[in-house]
Structure 1
Amino acid sequence: MDFFSTTIMKIVGSYGMVTTFAVLGIMTIIATYLSKNVLKGRIDPSALAVIMALILAYIGGAATGGKRGISDVTFFAGMGFVGGGMWLNYTLIATAYGAKLEELKKAGLAGGLALVVGTIIAFVVGALAAYAAGYRDAVSLTTIGAGAATFAVGPVTGAALGATSDVIALSIAAGVVKSVSVMILTPFLAKPFGLTTPAAAMVYGGLVGTTSGTSAGLAATDARLVPYGATTATFYTGFGCLVCPSIGYFAVLALTGG
């Protein structure tokens, strides 16, 4: 038995990425089954998978006393690579390549205004939450405010401004909470918000951003709306990466004085 367990751990240690993708695949299958058969499609599988991952991260960190969540457990060490900055940047670039300016124009003035207003509201709410939590310096307030826009904008902004790792982690956490919330709430808000047409989906994507949350939420609402909501949501991320470390930072700097 000891030989068997030792052999398994050696294989896992040597092929961490294979193990990681196998675990992620199993989690996806479980999330899909629960969404389809237990929750009857009310919550998208992506939202359930993210929730499962957050629970695993908490358990891993608490059990080992580590700082890298589930990747502190040897068996799940490959998770640290999959959740690292390289994969984040890869997904950002891949998503951006899927968007075209011509498609954004189809949303008209409403889509453009939604993009600007949505980014500003998220940034302000995030910065105010950071201020209420005790942060006073412009770099921290801007980074966490950017994270409230999306979990991708937060680390980009933090890296550009030289924020500390704990602040960048908080910005990512803020974005993840927003993304999961959008995934879960979108199907319930679709009818009262009139989220039934491509134009409405594009405005919605511009207002809330978070491409993953919007796409998953719309998929659970009406899969035909996903490309339209994802288009403006993708530009939302790019727009946030441009304005949060620049205009956003100088605005916060002017208000706080440092």
Structure 2
Amino acid sequence: MLDILYTTLNKVPLITAFVTVGIIMWAAYALGKMTNNRIHGSAIAILIGLILAYIGGTITGEKKGISDITLFSGFALMGGGMLRDFAIVSTAFGVKLEELKKAGLAGAVALVVSVVIATVLGAATAYAFGYTSAVDMATIGGGTVTFIVGPVTGAALGASSEVIALSVAAGVVKSIAVMILTPFLAKVAGLDNPAAAAVYGGLMGTTSGVSAGLAATDPKLVPYGALTATFYTGFGCLMVPSVGYMALLALFGN
């Protein structure tokens, strides 16, 4: 029976990946409920995913994490850019434009200021740890913006795989921190209306972190925060490899 099941799952790797993610999400949200959703299920699911990716890469000695195991090869497609971008865009559905407009100038300013601050902090941290070239600082700075901006910046500028990996790690840490801390800070930050959620999304920037954090606060706010957070990612992908890199090059000259 187990042999039949294993053979069947091997023949449909993408479906196997979806089923596996479904089971992980179910378990993660069950654990989240045990914390009264103070730690959202999405944060727990990401942590489980990172652990499985590490185990998969360690066992096989390869570089693609869990997808290096034949049974879970479908994760290579499921975790690719196509489905990722589809998931990010889908978060914008349900937005009422009249509510989003209330964020107005504050949302736009929050987005620009946050991208600049995140890039500067990431670049400064990179410099402090010995990554002193403009390419490395821009890449790690981009990772501090989001874990998508980092690899995009690194690929555009020709950064090493080590630096790109560090940029992803920086973005993941930021994402998980936003997920966990948002419900605790929601009352202080005034996250009780769509306009505030839109500004918050532009300020924090990480779509996954903002979405999960707002879901634990008030699910109705998720589309507003997610929409501006998605703009944040796109804006970062445009600005960090170009303006950010040129600014760092002018300051450090290499």
TM-score by length of 1: 0.89
**Residue type at the aligned position of 1:140:** D
Where in structure 1 are there 5+ consecutive unaligned residues?
A: none
C-alpha separation in 2, matches of 1:243 and 1:99: 26
Corresponding residue for 2:171? 175
CA-CA distance at 1:95 after TM superposition:
5.3
C-alpha separation in 1, matches of 2:207 and 2:78: 19
Quick check: 1:122–1:149 contact (8 Å CA) kept in 2?
yes
CA-CA distance at 1:48 after TM superposition:
1.1
**Residue type at the aligned position of 1:40:** N
**Residue type at the aligned position of 2:247:** A
Corresponding residue for 1:84? 80
CA-CA distance at 1:72 after TM superposition:
2.1
Secondary structure, counterpart of 1:171 in structure 2: helix
CA-CA distance at 1:80 after TM superposition:
2.2
1:114 matched to 2:89? The reply is no
Corresponding residue for 1:67? 63
1:159 matched to 2:155? The reply is yes
C-alpha separation in 2, matches of 1:196 and 1:92: 23
Where in structure 2 are there 5+ consecutive unaligned residues?
A: none
CA-CA distance at 1:78 after TM superposition:
1.7
**Residue type at the aligned position of 2:124:** L
Corresponding residue for 1:24? 21
Percentage identity across aligned positions?
61
C-alpha separation in 2, matches of 1:104 and 1:73: 44
1:232 matched to 2:228? The reply is yes
TM-score by length of 2: 0.90
CA-CA distance at 1:28 after TM superposition:
0.8
Moved over 6 A (4+): 96-103
1:15 matched to 2:12? The reply is yes
Distance 1:42 1:96, change over 3 A: closer
**Residue type at the aligned position of 1:27:** I
* Number of equivalenced pairs: 254
Report Cα offsets for 1:45-103 as digits up to 9, x if no partner. Answer: 11111111011112222233322222222222222222233433444555578889876
Which of residues 189, 192, 207 in structure 2 aligns to 1:193?
189
Quick check: 2:93–2:223 contact (8 Å CA) kept in 1?
no
Quick check: 1:104–1:111 contact (8 Å CA) kept in 2?
no
Secondary structure, counterpart of 1:66 in structure 2: coil
C-alpha separation in 2, matches of 1:31 and 1:115: 31
Corresponding residue for 1:142? 138
Distance 1:100 1:221, change over 3 A: closer
Which of residues 211, 219, 223 in structure 2 aligns to 1:223?
219
